[in-house]
């Protein structure tokens, strides 16, 4: 990094830390806006350094211009009288942002083409009429006329100048943020407000200059991985133009309708939510755009379809399958009506029975467990009816500084008290997960480097403290300790031996503990007979296993491995057949209804997933 531009008084101090972009989407608008707003709470000079560029950390547009993507690293630097405290607080805040973004991206998303074999098979089995298929934004089934989006432009004179319109727009966004603070919309309003508060825009004095600024930013984003940001700039432009008397509004029917458009601005989605809209089809949006996030938050059934669409006075949008039928037969209409009733009954039943046992049609009980990261998510899992915890991702409990033995023990104990069945994974850092207090050498291929169980060799003191805390926290309660990224029997044997030595040294009980591994590395497939002799259980981490099977990094911005691939299910069936110990699934594949059905057909009776999916998956299993 080039720090020659960084001049400060002798009485001031400079502290810095290297942070990594672990969000698969890179550093996009919402997390940047949140981070910038956090930096503004501090009086110190705060900067970001990346590739010899220094930018003001309190400027949203300056950070946006860096176009930081997944895997990029930057140096966060604080200069002031007592910079260390500020630096740690901001690093903590940033790590929490990245974890929140990573959790949003955990469920594998695939954008199928119109001839996607998996969707085509489902679609053909349900409907007979010609249809279009696409990517699901928000599930649901609706029947209504298909209506093309049109805009009504109005001009009215007022006496506001540009700066007055700018400040009024900021005030309006601030009110919207406060009103929707607990919803998914809040981060979008905050992001737009932060954009308008940026120094570059605050220094603009005329509408003409503002329009040029917007045009230049939009052009710079075209054909890049940040193309979806264009809608945000268009939306803040629309807001200011409205304050100046130049408004554009969607023209929509008063009766139920399905809207189709190239894309929608976030403000237009908010307007739509108050109309008679029952479904939305977009052509040029993305699954992670702000418009898609809002459609999901308003529970509007919606899909992205790249094909040409024509208006129709009667259509079916089956967003649960990603299907649009613009000219349905009477038989298809009857099918859609039946599916709507079935969905309503399933959702109601799922909520009523979320705490009940999950018995499939063969009379076999299936355990539906939760993947959690901390005490809050553990409580949420409990509220959603989780039968236990199938994966406690312990690395996300602590973010910036290494926790003490006492701090770890308390957190684990509080979580253990909530469930009878709990599996905790030892620290799994490296790859797309970093902890700043664990210093690791820079690796050309971090997903193939120091990860998971390999920390027992590279950072033994960190793992030993964690093991001691877990054993202390269990207090004789039955728990499962799971080692991640195991590739050979020797690695497991050494890790378990280390645990037993710690227990003996500190006189801690281990007869209540079972030891197992996550199956993520393909080499385990060919050594399963040897592992059967030494482990107590297995849990298959399908996220990483898929990544290594197909040699496609799971955070890659453009390449995606098919989580429903027959190859993957062949591997899962092989592992299930050859395993002589209890075996479960803890990857996100378990929360995909089509996938969970195939897993049950193989024979799996223990599935672990995000808490929000638990009631529906339980009901899906009961209904076969």
Residue in this structure with the two tokens 């395993």, named with its chain if needed: 579
Contact 452, 394 (CB under 8 A): no
- Which runs of consecutive H residues, i.e. helices, occur in 264-314? 266-272, 290-297
Contact 597, 569 (CB under 8 A): no
DSSP summary character for residue 426: P
3-state DSSP assignment of residue 205 = coil
CA gap 79, 134 in Å, rounded: 50
For residue 578, the surrounding DSSP H or E stretch is: helix 566-578
Contact 478, 510 (CB under 8 A): no
Half-sphere exposure of 269 (CA within 13 A, CB side): 30
Catalytic machinery residues: 28
DSSP summary character for residue 307: S
Between the two ends of the chain, the Cα-to-Cα distance in Å is: 58
Q: Which residue, among 375, 421, 383, 447, has the nearest Cα to 608 in the 3D structure? A: 421
Contact 471, 510 (CB under 8 A): yes
Q: Which residues pair with 518 in a beta bridge?
A: 539
Residue 174's Cβ-count burial label (10 Å; 0-12, 13-18, 19+) is middle
Whole-number Cα distances in Å, 65 to 29, 54, 308: 11, 11, 34
Q: Kindly state the tokens that stand for 371.
A: 């993947």
Q: Which residues pair with 393 in a beta bridge?
A: 425
3-state DSSP assignment of residue 136 = strand
């Amino acid at each position: 990094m080039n720090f020659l531009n960084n001049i400060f008084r002798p009485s001031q101090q400079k502290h810095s830390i290297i942070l990594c972009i672990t969000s698969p989407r890179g550093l996009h608008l919402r997390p940047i806006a949140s981070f910038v707003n956090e930096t503004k709470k501090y009086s110190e000079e705060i900067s970001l350094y990346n590739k010899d560029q220094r930018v003001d950390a309190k400027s949203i547009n300056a950070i946006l211009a860096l176009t930081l993507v997944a895997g990029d690293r930057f140096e966060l630097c604080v200069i002031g009288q007592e910079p260390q405290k500020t630096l740690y607080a901001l690093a903590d805040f940033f790590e929490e942002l990245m974890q929140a973004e990573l959790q949003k991206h955990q469920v594998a998303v695939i954008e199928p083409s119109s001839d996607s074999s998996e969707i085509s098979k489902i679609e053909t089995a349900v409907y007979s009429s010609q249809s279009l298929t696409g990517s699901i934004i928000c599930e649901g089934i609706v029947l209504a006329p298909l209506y093309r989006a049109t805009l009504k432009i109005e001009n009215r004179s007022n006496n506001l100048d540009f700066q007055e319109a700018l400040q009024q727009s900021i005030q309006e966004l601030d009110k919207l943020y406060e009103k929707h603070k607990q919803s998914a919309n809040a981060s979008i309003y905050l992001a737009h407000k932060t954009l308008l508060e940026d120094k570059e825009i605050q220094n603009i004095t005329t509408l003409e200059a503002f329009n040029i600024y917007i045009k230049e930013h939009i052009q710079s984003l075209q054909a890049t991985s940040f193309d979806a940001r264009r809608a945000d700039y268009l939306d803040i432009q629309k807001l200011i133009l409205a304050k100046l008397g130049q408004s554009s509004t969607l023209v929509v029917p008063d009766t139920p309708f399905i809207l189709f458009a190239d894309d929608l601005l976030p403000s237009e989605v908010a307007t739509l939510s108050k109309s008679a809209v029952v479904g939305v089809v977009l052509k040029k949006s993305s699954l992670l755009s702000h418009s898609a996030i809002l459609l999901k938050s308003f529970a509007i059934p919606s899909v992205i379809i790249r094909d040409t669409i024509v208006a129709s006075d009667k259509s079916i949008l089956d967003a649960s399958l990603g299907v649009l039928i613009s000219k349905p037969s009477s038989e298809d209409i009857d099918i859609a009506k039946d599916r709507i009733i079935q969905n309503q009954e399933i959702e109601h039943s799922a909520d009523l029975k979320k705490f009940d046992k999950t018995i499939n049609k063969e009379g076999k009980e299936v355990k539906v467990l939760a993947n959690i990261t901390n005490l809050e998510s553990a409580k949420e899992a409990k509220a959603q009816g989780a039968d236990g915890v199938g994966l406690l991702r312990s690395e996300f409990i602590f973010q910036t500084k290494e926790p003490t033995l006492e701090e770890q023990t308390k957190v684990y104990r509080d979580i253990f008290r909530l469930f009878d069945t709990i599996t905790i994974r030892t620290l799994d850092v490296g790859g797309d997960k970093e902890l700043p207090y664990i210093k690791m050498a820079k690796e050309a291929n971090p997903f193939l480097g120091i990860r998971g169980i390999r920390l027992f060799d590279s950072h033994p003191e960190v793992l030993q403290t964690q093991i001691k805390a877990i054993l202390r926290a269990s207090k004789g309660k039955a728990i499962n300790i799971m080692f991640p990224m195991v590739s050979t029997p020797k690695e497991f044997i050494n890790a378990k031996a280390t645990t037993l030595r710690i227990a003996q040294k500190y006189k801690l009980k281990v007869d209540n503990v079972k030891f197992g591994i996550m199956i993520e590395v393909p080499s385990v497939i060919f050594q399963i007979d040897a592992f059967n002799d030494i482990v107590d259980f297995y849990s298959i981490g399908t996220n990483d296993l898929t990544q290594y099977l197909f040699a496609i990094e799971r955070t890659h911005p453009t390449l995606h491995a098919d989580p429903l691939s027959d190859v993957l299910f062949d591997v899962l069936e092989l592992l299930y057949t050859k395993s002589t110990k209890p075996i479960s699934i803890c990857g996100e594949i378990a929360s995909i209804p089509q996938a969970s059905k195939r897993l049950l057909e193989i024979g799996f009776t223990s599935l672990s997933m995000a808490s929000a999916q638990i009631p529906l998956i339980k009901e899906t299993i009961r209904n076969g």
